[in-house]
Amino acid sequence: MTVLAVRGLTKHFAGVPALRGVDLDVEEGSVHALLGGNGCGKSTLIKALAGVGPGDDGEIAVAGQLHAAPAMTPRHAREAGLRFVHQQLSIFPDLSVAENLAIGHGWEAGRTGRIHWRSQNRRARDLLDRFGVPVYPRQLAGASSVATQTMICIARAMQDLEQAGVLVLDEPTSSFPPAQVDQLLAFVREFVGHGHSVVYVTHRLDEVVRVADRATIMRDGLVDVHVERDELTHDRLSRAIIGPAVRSAGTSVSARREPPAGPASVVVDGLAGGPVVGASFALRPGEIVGLAGLLGSGRSSLLKLLFGALPATAGTVEIDGRPFRPAGPGAAMRAGVAYIPEDRQADAAFASLSVGENLSLATSGEYFRRGRIRHRAEAAAARRLVGDYHVKTTSTRAAMGTLSGGNQQKVVLARWLRRDPRLLLLDEPSQGVDVGARAEIWHLVRHAVDQGATALVATSDLDELATFCDRALVIRSGRIADEVAPADMSEHTLQSRAFGIDQEAS
């Protein structure tokens, strides 16, 4: 039985088609994966289903209830039984976890309207236990990791789904450690076993193979391919998503290289600050070095220390033989350091500014002459960068927020690489990015190190780290505890070292 049916759904932005007559059927009691490259229309389709970005034409039927796509509103979607957890989390960081959960359900209150906090927190505790979310009800939601915040949003969406039909999960595991991925996938399978349905939007194809009953692949605003359960393999899906051109590009950058000979360009000795308690290592020009570690190991903090975004309390750093201890990010930039943070939406992509303005943020001084901005030169440089970095956008004047996640990341990368950095720091560079854009991003990083830069990359995707990095440093409890040589680079080895497991003993 079809529980969700979409027919002829269209959507345009400034006259440019984003959805071009999408048809989709989701069966009751199934996990239906929705896949495609960045900019293919997945997010636009989800927003149309949720009523936050209604379609221009078409129909949406949920459990037999027919809705005209242009008239769809969030209220209609909710009443129809649709629930959503979007890629950009709707978390309220200054409210407690219990308060965040109540926003999606209602308050435990008496006839006078006074909230019964004991009952509220007890209900939250029961809900958190039900979904295995490791957090306390009274804790501020913003104090949790991004992975835990994602799980809070999932619990909030699922809490009243006893009678609802379809849950839409948009990139739910993009920041999860492996154990929590397993936990979510197990819940999803149990959930659909009770007759509910899940639309699972992700770039992680291994999750699709493990959990999905069917997959739909979109391209350029259209449904391109349907893949049934017996055909769901990583190779089948990746070939359908990325196409032959990008696939060959991905292969060209996947081969690791032996660390280059010669003196180190970056030498770190006993660096401490925040959770980092004493990191020592050396990096050479021309190499991509991965930084592997568990959540809370200090890997993100180490990058912030090197960029001057987190004050160092001890230790020394040298870049090209010169002492380096930046007073802040500005000093780090002047020393040739570039930093791409983990949370693109909060810290790197300025959604309300244009693509061109985002590209110019790190080099805006180049366009000032006699108290005026040379807009023509700025626009010409932006157009060149959009072409060089293969950014899909209708115009450099388009708002950054209209771009897909992968194209936003390419804009952020172009912003920094145009400065020809000596040290490139990347934190989760391909989080929420499809396999095609991922290959392009790594190709750009490889090109930068071929020009003499050094790249230090922190990522929780250990398979990706093993594929694209030349060697890896392992951080545990704030210290560089191990190094993985090129010959030993594998997901299993990296995970074992991150946990501190002696592989020979195991």
Same structural domain for residues 61 and 138? no
Quote the DSSP letter at residue 487: G
Give the residue numbers spanning the domain of 381: 266-499
My answer on whether 192 and 328 are in the same domain is no
Q: Which is nearest to 258 in space by CA: 30, 497, 491, 486?
A: 486
Number of domains the chain contains: 3
Residues 112, 65: Cα–Cα separation, whole Å: 37
For residue 488, being part of any structural domain is answered with yes
Classify residue 504: in a domain, yes or no.
Answer: no
Residue 506 lies in a domain: no
State how far the Cα of 364 lies from the Cα of 378, in Å rounded to an integer: 8
Q: pLDDT value at position 11?
A: 94
Pairing of strands 222-228, 266-273: unpaired
Model pLDDT, residue 309: 94
Please provide residue 326's backbone torsions phi and psi, each rounded to the nearest 5 degrees.
Answer: -65, 140
Please check whether residue 261 lies inside any domain of the structure: no
At 240, list the tokens.
Answer: 């359908």
Q: Is the same domain home to 485 and 361?
A: yes
Residue 38 in tokens = 């960045």
Contact 151, 167 (CB under 8 A): no
Strand, coil or helix: what is 393?
Answer: coil
Domain assignment present for 305:
yes
Q: Residues 149, 174: one domain?
A: no
pLDDT of residue 31: 96
Count of residues making up the chain = 506
pTM of structure: 0.63
Q: Mark whether 150 and 174 lie in a shared domain.
A: no
Is residue 375 situated within a structural domain? yes
Answer yes or no: do 49 and 124 share one domain. Answer: no
The answer to whether residues 364 and 398 belong to one domain is: yes
Q: How far apart are CA 50 and CA 429, in angstroms?
A: 28
> Are residue 335 and residue 456 in the same domain, yes or no?
yes
Rounded to a whole number, what is the largest CA-CA distance in the chain?
75
Residue that finishes a domain, picked among 137, 160, 183: 160
Does the residue 259 lie in any domain? no
pLDDT of amino acid 439: 84
Contacts 24+ apart (CB under 8 A), 255-260: 256/467, 256/468, 256/469, 256/470, 256/471, 256/486, 256/489, 257/287, 257/470, 257/486, 258/470, 258/486, 259/284, 259/287, 259/470, 259/471, 259/486, 260/284, 260/285, 260/286, 260/287
One domain, residues 136 and 281: no
Of the three residues 111, 137, 160, the one that is the final residue of a domain is: 160
Say yes or no: 141 and 175 in one domain.
Answer: no
Pair (74, 95) in one structural domain: no
Domain assignment of residue 54, yes or no = yes
Please tell me the distance from the alpha carbon of residue 140 to that of residue 436, in angstroms, as a whole number.
Answer: 37
Per-residue tens of pLDDT for the chain, all 506 residues: 899 999 999 998 867 788 999 999 999 999 999 998 767 888 889 999 999 999 999 999 998 889 999 999 999 998 888 988 876 778 899 999 999 999 867 888 877 778 888 888 999 999 898 877 889 999 999 988 777 888 888 888 878 766 657 999 988 876 666 677 887 888 888 788 878 899 999 878 889 999 999 999 998 889 989 999 999 998 888 778 765 444 444 444 444 566 667 789 999 999 999 889 989 999 999 999 999 987 678 899 999 999 999 999 999 999 999 999 988 999 999 999 999 998 887 888 888 999 999 998 887 777 677 677 777 888 898 999 999 988 988 889 999 988 888 899 999 999 999 999 999 999 999 877 777 788 888 999 999 999 999 999 998 888 889 989 999 999 988 899 999 998 899 888 887 888 776 544 44
Instruction: Write the secondary structure of 311-325 as one string of H (helix), E (strand) and C (coil).
Output: CCCEEEEEECCEECC
Q: Among the three residues 132, 160, 188, which one is the final residue of a domain in this structure?
A: 160
Element (H or E) spanning 375, and its range? helix 375-388
Indicate if 315 and 367 belong to the same structural domain: yes
**Which runs of consecutive H residues, i.e. helices, occur in 82-198?**
97-103, 117-131, 146-158, 178-192
- Determine whether 399 is exposed, middle or buried from the number of CB atoms within 10 Å of its CB (0-12, 13-18, 19+): middle
Structure tokens that stand for 50 in this block:
């949720």
CA distances from residue 443 to 247, 431, 474 in whole angstroms, order as listed: 12, 16, 23
CATH code of the domain in which 361 resides: 3.40.50.300
| Predicted local confidence at residue 249, as pLDDT | 40
